[in-house]
Amino acid sequence: MSELPNSTMTVPIIQSMKNQRKLVMLTAYDHTMAKLLDQHADILLVGDTLGCVVQGDQTTLGVTLEQMCYHAAMVKRGAQNALVVADLPFGSYQSSASDAIQAAIRLIKETGVSAVKLEGGGGSLAAIEQISRAGIPVMGHLGLTPQSYHSMGGNKVQGKTQSAAQKLLEEAKAVEAAGAFSLVLEAIPADLAKIITQALSIPTIGIGAGSDCDGQVLVINDMIGLNQNQAPMRFNKEYCAVRKMITKAAQQYASEVRDGSFPCPQYSYL
């Protein structure tokens, strides 16, 4: 049974699920997909991966706050049950904590989402602290942080050396202490994710971080096999191949239009 009971998720409910049952998170970028996923996910993330999977860029760096607001409002309209969280895009929170609060307030006011997500440890702690203090729940994000694409030298697995692992553990504790209500761990060794998960009292949500996190997230376009541009990371599991279904349908439609068999009388007003 994969459907969830018909109840609205809140931040306290999500937090109370740590050590009770696994959290299910998926990304969504529009109303149609949000409606399809709403009964099956605890959290819908309007991720800035929209820059890659919707806009066709190589990185998330070009996504604007305006665009996040546009997509987050559509997702929120399609979600009756899941908690909707929206990413603060690159450039909207790095320069100062007051910029960060302004950006978070705008996302909440204009879209109705319940929480924001932002990336990073040390440099993001003031933003996490002040946004949380303003009453806006913050989801942290450590490990592979795609907004640091250039300093990481690409989308690479993080925390592989002992010192990098230790740093990530310290950062995770600091993110929790700053007030985050949950934490995404992306592309880090499974045993490190387990240690971090056990060290925190907030839920961790893994993507490429093994099975011991408190929940899992996948990018919906990768999960349904829709992308054709970039090879998905090793951690993605394609649960179906929508790309192939669309290609087949488009081929059949084109051939029927060209040979005149569509529309037949069944699809015409007679």
The site for ligand KIV (CB under 6 A) is made up of 27, 45, 47-49, 87, 141, 184, 186, 207, 217, 219
Q: How many C-beta neighbours within 10 Å does residue 269 have? A: 5
| In the complex, minimum distance from the CB of residue 49 to ligand KIV, in angstroms, rounded to a whole number | 3
Tokens of 186: 């992306």
Q: How far is the CB of 146 from ligand KIV (least distance, A)?
A: 7
DSSP bridge pairs for 140 = 183
Which listed residue (119, 129, 171, 186) is catalytic?
186
When CB distances to ligand KIV are compared, the closest residue is 47
Residue closer to ligand KIV by CB (options 24, 219) is 219
CB of 160 to ligand KIV, least distance (A): 19
Return the number of the residue (22 or 262) whose C-beta is nearest ligand KIV: 22
Looking at beta carbons, which pairs linking 56-59 to residues 24 or more positions away fall under 8 Å?
Answer: 56/229, 58/230, 59/146, 59/149
CB of 165 or CB of 223, closer to ligand KIV: 223
Find, among 192, 182, 203, 197, the residue nearest to 140 by Cα.
Answer: 182
CB closer to ligand KIV, 88 vs 136 = 88
Pick the closer one to ligand KIV by CB: 70 or 262: 70
The CB-side HSE value for 68 (13 A sphere, CA atoms) comes to 33
Which tokens sit at 207? 């993507």
Q: What is the C-alpha separation between 197 and 213, in angstroms, rounded?
A: 6
| Closest C-alpha among 81, 55, 56 to residue 68 | 55
Whole-number minimum distance, CB 77 to ligand KIV, in Å? 19
- The residue (of 9 and 116) whose beta carbon lies closer to ligand KIV is 116
Three-state SS across 156-196? CCCCCCHHHHHHHHHHHHHHHHHCCCEEEEECCCHHHHHHH
What minimum distance in Å lies between the beta carbon of 60 and ligand KIV? Answer: 6
> Closest by alpha carbon to 124, among 141, 137, 110?
141
- Closest by alpha carbon to 21, among 215, 216, 205? 215
Helices (H), 38-96: 50-53, 65-78
Tell me, yes or no, if 176 is annotated catalytic. no
Task: Please enumerate in sequence order all residues whose Cβ is within 8 A of that of 29, keeping only pairs 6 or more positions apart, or say none.
Answer: 46, 47, 50, 53, 54, 71, 74, 75, 220
Q: How far is the CB of 184 from ligand KIV (least distance, A)?
A: 5
Which of the residues are catalytic? 186
